[in-house]
A = this chain, B = another copy of it.
Amino acid sequence: MLKYQEIAIEIEKYIEENALQQGDKLPVLETLMTQFAVSKSTITKSLDLLEKKGMVFQVRGSGIFVRRHKRKGYISLLSNQGFKKDLEDYHITSNIIELDVRTPTEEASHNLNIEPNADVYYVKRIRYINGQTLCVEESYYNKAIISYLNKEIVSESIFDYIREGLGLKVGFTDSYLHIDKLNDEEANYLGLNKGDPKLYVEGIFHLTNGQPFDFSKVTYNYQQSQFFIQSNGYLL
């Protein structure tokens, strides 16, 4: 583990353990430098990391302050932000509708950047959060990268398997969202009515080396769709 990551975790712990609130001041850089016995750049890098995660904000000439949002029940839209604990409060299960190897649709081959006759794992599943329908998900995994999947893996977290089982490093994601009305089939899967709102998300997931390995199309139950975003700019 790198120094600046360890220090970031330490500071995160410090904030949690002392139940610091939005606006509370952290020790000054000088103090942190001597306390952790590292150079200024390293502390700065730790703090930049925490700032990126939305946990602190730094004010030049003034200090380093805690940033915490107050509302419960909202899921961070960017998983690299906020406390991981947020997600541990939820119990997610899956019901697998389909799982097989096939050739991709034109759309999928385009987004995965593979030949139309290449092999992909196709997974269709309904996901539940605390027993309620969360979403219907259709995914295409590039079989050249994700060499093996089975029902057991697909019932659990596929991404945990990709990281730990296959030893691959997940990098960045491009997601496209829009809001629309449910069609018959989707309403049926989610236990809602045709014409009800839906959040539809297409995601292209890449390894750290830039290779796309997963193209997913997900329709969310609007009743479960409470998200929050901490940004350093502003929406729209």
**Chain A residues within CB distance 8 Å of chain B:** 22-23, 41, 52, 54, 57, 59, 62, 65, 67, 69, 71, 74-75, 77-81, 135, 159, 170-181, 195-199, 201, 203, 205-206, 208-210, 218, 220, 222, 225-236
Q: Inside 8 A of A222's CB, which chain B residues have their CB?
A: 178-180, 197
What are 8 residue pairs bridging A and B, where the CB atoms are less than 8 Å apart in the complex? A52-B52, A57-B171, A59-B209, A173-B235, A178-B226, A180-B197, A196-B197, A205-B234
Q: Please give the distance in Å from A100's CB to the nearest CB on chain B.
A: 24
Q: Inside 8 A of A196's CB, which chain B residues have their CB?
A: 181, 197
Q: Inside 8 A of A175's CB, which chain B residues have their CB?
A: 228-231, 235
Contact B180 A228 (CB under 8 A): no
Q: Inside 8 A of A178's CB, which chain B residues have their CB?
A: 222, 225-227
- Within the oligomer, what is the number of copies of this chain? 2
Given A198-B197, A229-B177, verify A75-B236 contact (CB < 8 Å): yes
Contact B171 A203 (CB under 8 A): no
Contact A225 B179 (CB under 8 A): yes
User: Which 9 residue pairs across A and B have the least CB separation, nearest first?
Assistant: A197-B197, A80-B233, A79-B233, A179-B222, A179-B225, A175-B229, A178-B226, A177-B227, A173-B234
Q: Determine the distance from Cα of A60 to Cα of B198 in the docked complex, in whole angstroms.
A: 40
Contact A208 B59 (CB under 8 A): yes
